[in-house]
Structure 1
Amino acid sequence: MTTSAVRETEHAIDVAAPAERVYALIADVTRWPEIFPPTVHAECVERDGNAELIRLWATANGTPKTWTSRRSHDPERMSVSFRQERSQHPVGGMGGTWVVEPGSGSGCRVRLLHDYSAATGDPADLDWIGRAVDRNSEAELQALKTSAELTGPDRLVTFDDTVTIDGEAKEVYDFLNEAQLWQERLPHVARVVLEEETPGLQILEMDTSAKDGSVHTTRSVRVCRPHTSILYKQTLLPALLTLHNGQWLIEEADGGGVAVTSRHTVRVNPERVAELGGGMDLPTMQENVRRTLSANSLATLRAAKAHAEGSGRGRAAP
């Protein structure tokens, strides 16, 4: 039996924000999809005092992965240690520690330590993991610094659109899950490419047509959970956005049928509003983004409704 070597790395960054604020961002894993670019979705599965089991969905060298980790919080030392409980190939094992060190004044230093091994003895696998750790660590530390140093409003906007469907949850879920068919089913989708190497983990690339005739290309990683939800994060964004996370939620409706909700969480890049906003200010642009995304979501929900209720089966949705 071949045993892989264990490598250790450390990445660090100085943050012009109080250590307590930085530690709070690290400790609350549910906020990670909004803070860290590689993180698609994160949730706490169980918690007992300062110990917790979390599950993460994230990209590593552009490939979507999922794993569970045990974390131990030490609020007094402002550190969080972690150890993957179930790693994904080619990772054999991985752990480490977030350490927040208060500095002089109101700043602090954040250190991110990793130790890892490959599932095989192949040095190429160990190098692949090393590249992923380096890339994600640098991206996460920079994103943590940006979020912690933000002094004004973070410009995060969340909004929902819900449609009630007289049909089965499975029919609705299948429509949303089978995005490779959206080019034929949805009028605003001009091109779509769907990859799914791991069941339930998709990469969706799509060209979407706007009312003004422009076409926007986006790429998303999707976490698909039959027959209740599809969670996603755009990894290739329109120029005006710095963040777009979304959810398709399918729930039983009062009185029968299902209530299907499209939820968007977006952040508009204020530095691009003057350049691309056509004279609009930031609040107006935020509302314009909301209307555009809602219009596309409602078009998808109406098509899903027609499909699940029977009128849309076997032909393109109106």
Structure 2
Amino acid sequence: MSGERVHCVRHSMEVAAPAGAVYALLADAVRRPLYCPPVLHVERLDFDGTRERLRMWESAGGHIRSSMWVRVQHPHERRIEFVRLTHEAPVESMGGEWTVEEAAGGRSAVTVRHEFTVAGDHGDDVAWVGLVTGDSARAELESLRRIAENRDGLDDLVLSFEEEVRVNGPGELVYDFLYRAADLPDLAPRVRHFELTESSPGVQVLGYEERLPDGAVRTTGAVRLCFPHAGRIVYKQTAPSAPVAAHTGEWSVLPDEHGVRVVARHSVLLDETVVRSVPGAGIFAPGPAPSGLEGARIRLREAIGRSSLATLELAGRHAESAVRTLPRRPAVAADSPR
């Protein structure tokens, strides 16, 4: 910490789940976007089994913010230390730790402690940072409690899958098609009233209406983070519809010796309350399917897969048609100067 006075805020919550299960959820930083609404995406930059360096994107106060963190895991103590490496004024430093302790009746006591310093140590700034930090801590604790207390069926509630197409065309054109989300309404009849803002390069905020297979129309949105040099676009839906509690995904353009592979990856967290209460959980795909959790998984897999595969195929046709329309180079005679 710097020479400014260190301020400490502490928040705790009791969770009806074993301490080991709660700690495991905290330790899995990469899956936090599924479990914690403000967290959009987490990239693990390095990890040696104990110490990890993370880049995290979050939505806060209507803004998309990126930050760098170092976390040190102490699994035998069920404790995780963290230090934020990047800051925005007036914060000068931020760190702390998570601890998980056993409580009576197989429950857990979870505590998160933040220590921070503020430039100038002005009272209003200190109060504001404490308020924002406290709001974030309480939201994380509540999200952790909700997920941990449904842990017995958590593996069944998380659905992960991918779709893939092979394209006989340049990967740059495929990526360009996926990046130009503003063109989507002209190419996908299911999408209506589309809005896109890009306040900084590569950070896209989408809002649109989508017609579902059963004819219903839902209003939804997403935040997309674009990495052109890596051929990747990652995203998180900001207003998922029941029975989906959270939906994250990634588009990847992967050149290889045979051409270009384009992959759509999805991770979906189902809302157990809705799945258990709605027969078939079936707003996404009409037709026969088992009821309850199994039916919801089948319907979501079909509906999301069909939609993403259609986008992949459009991207492929875009790249391949562009190649076909390029002017052909004249043949060069064997004895011509080169």
Instruction: Please report the TM-score for the alignment, with normalisation by the length of structure 1.
Output: 0.86
1:134 is displaced (CA, Å) by 2.8
1:116 is displaced (CA, Å) by 3.3
Aligned length: 311
**Alignment match, 1:297:** 308
**Alignment match, 1:205:** 207
Q: For structure 2, which runs of at least 5 residues remain unmatched after alignment?
A: 283-288, 326-338
Q: 1:103 to 1:212 in 2, by over 3 A?
A: closer
In the alignment, the residues of structure 2 paired with residue 12 and residue 162 of structure 1 have an alpha-carbon distance, to the nearest angstrom, of: 44
**Alignment match, 1:267:** 269
In the alignment, the residues of structure 1 paired with residue 254 and residue 158 of structure 2 have an alpha-carbon distance, to the nearest angstrom, of: 25
C-alpha contact (below 8 Å) 1:89/1:119 kept by paired residues: yes
1:63 is displaced (CA, Å) by 2.0
C-alpha contact (below 8 Å) 2:169/2:323 kept by paired residues: no
C-alpha contact (below 8 Å) 1:67/1:88 kept by paired residues: no
Q: 1:75 to 1:254 in 2, by over 3 A?
A: same
Q: 1:295 to 1:147 in 2, by over 3 A?
A: same
1:146 is displaced (CA, Å) by 2.0
**Alignment match, 1:173:** 175
**Alignment match, 1:252:** 255
Counterpart residue identity of residue 281, structure 1: S
1:267 is displaced (CA, Å) by 2.5
Counterpart residue identity of residue 217, structure 1: T
Larger Rg: 2
**Alignment match, 1:196:** 198
1:96 is displaced (CA, Å) by 1.6
For 1:82-231, list aligned pairs within 5 A. Answer: 82-88=82-88, 91-117=91-117, 129-154=129-154, 155-227=157-229, 228-231=231-234
In the alignment, the residues of structure 2 paired with residue 284 and residue 12 of structure 1 have an alpha-carbon distance, to the nearest angstrom, of: 37
C-alpha contact (below 8 Å) 1:7/1:115 kept by paired residues: yes
Deviation larger for 194-203 or 238-247: 194-203
**Alignment match, 2:78:** 78
C-alpha contact (below 8 Å) 1:161/1:298 kept by paired residues: yes
**Alignment match, 2:15:** 15
**Alignment match, 1:232:** 235
Counterpart residue identity of residue 42, structure 2: A
C-alpha contact (below 8 Å) 1:92/1:119 kept by paired residues: yes
**Alignment match, 1:281:** 291
Give the SS at the match of 2:106: coil
In the alignment, the residues of structure 1 paired with residue 298 and residue 66 of structure 2 have an alpha-carbon distance, to the nearest angstrom, of: 34
- Which stretches of structure 1, 4 residues or longer, exceed 6 Å deviation after superposition? 119-125
Instruction: Please report the TM-score for the alignment, with normalisation by the length of structure 2.
Output: 0.82
C-alpha contact (below 8 Å) 2:207/2:222 kept by paired residues: yes
In the alignment, the residues of structure 1 paired with residue 42 and residue 25 of structure 2 have an alpha-carbon distance, to the nearest angstrom, of: 13
Deviation larger for 81-90 or 12-21: 81-90
In the alignment, the residues of structure 1 paired with residue 27 and residue 11 of structure 2 have an alpha-carbon distance, to the nearest angstrom, of: 18
C-alpha contact (below 8 Å) 1:165/1:260 kept by paired residues: yes
Q: 1:218 to 1:309 in 2, by over 3 A?
A: same
Give the SS at the match of 2:241: coil
1:200 is displaced (CA, Å) by 2.2
Give the SS at the match of 2:97: strand
Superposed CA RMSD in Å reads 2.8
Could you tell me the percent identity over the aligned residues? 34
Give the SS at the match of 2:153: coil
Deviations 1:138-188 (A, max 9, x none): 221112112222243221111211111122222111211221221123222
Q: 1:47 to 1:292 in 2, by over 3 A?
A: closer
Counterpart residue identity of residue 306, structure 2: A
1:53 is displaced (CA, Å) by 1.4
1:37 is displaced (CA, Å) by 1.7
Counterpart residue identity of residue 251, structure 2: W
C-alpha contact (below 8 Å) 2:84/2:93 kept by paired residues: yes
1:68 is displaced (CA, Å) by 0.9
Deviation larger for 82-91 or 205-214: 82-91
Q: For structure 1, which runs of at least 5 residues remain unmatched after alignment?
A: none
Counterpart residue identity of residue 79, structure 1: R
Give the SS at the match of 2:213: coil
1:75 is displaced (CA, Å) by 2.6
In the alignment, the residues of structure 2 paired with residue 38 and residue 32 of structure 1 have an alpha-carbon distance, to the nearest angstrom, of: 9
Counterpart residue identity of residue 163, structure 2: D
In the alignment, the residues of structure 2 paired with residue 183 and residue 124 of structure 1 have an alpha-carbon distance, to the nearest angstrom, of: 46
Give the SS at the match of 2:77: coil
